[in-house]
């Protein structure tokens, strides 16, 4: 089984009452790519992980260096 991994580093403004804070999230998906016998691709996991401010610079650098998704998720404490 081959795996296809999609990743998106995303920041958005979360605006509770009178507090404006930018929060970063790491969106990721794991896909089964199917095979030569005609099996279709399907998504195995689709999830989002909050990036704490103390790890944001490290995750951004890893993303820029094209680090594997599993390695980035490991830094964020996600076991896949």
Tens of pLDDT along the chain (80 residues) come to 344 444 555 555 544 333 345 778 888 888 887 776 767 888 888 888 888 889 988 988 898 898 888 899 999 999 87
- Residue length, the chain? 80
Contact (Cβ atoms closer than 8 angstroms) between residue 9 and residue 63: yes
Number of domains in the chain: 1
How many Å separate Cα 50 from the centre of its chain?
9
Does the residue 42 lie in any domain? yes
Does the residue 34 lie in any domain? yes
pLDDT at residue 58, as a whole number? 92
How many Å separate Cα 75 from the centre of its chain?
11
Provide the 8-state DSSP code for 38.
S
Range of the domain at 65: 3-75
Does the residue 80 lie in any domain? no
Does the residue 50 lie in any domain? yes
Residues 4, 60: Cα–Cα separation, whole Å: 21
Cβ atoms < 10 Å from Cβ of 69: 19
pLDDT at residue 46, as a whole number? 86
Instruction: Say whether pTM exceeds 0.85.
Output: no
pLDDT at residue 3, as a whole number? 42
């Amino acid at each position: 089984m081959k795996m296809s991994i999609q990743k998106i580093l995303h920041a958005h403004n979360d605006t509770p009452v009178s507090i404006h804070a930018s929060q970063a999230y790491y969106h990721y998906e794991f896909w089964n790519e199917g095979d030569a016998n005609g099996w279709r691709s399907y998504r195995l996991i689709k999830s989002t992980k909050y990036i704490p401010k103390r790890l944001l610079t490290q995750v951004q650098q890893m993303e820029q260096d094209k680090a594997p998704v599993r390695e980035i998720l490991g830094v964020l404490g996600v076991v896949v």
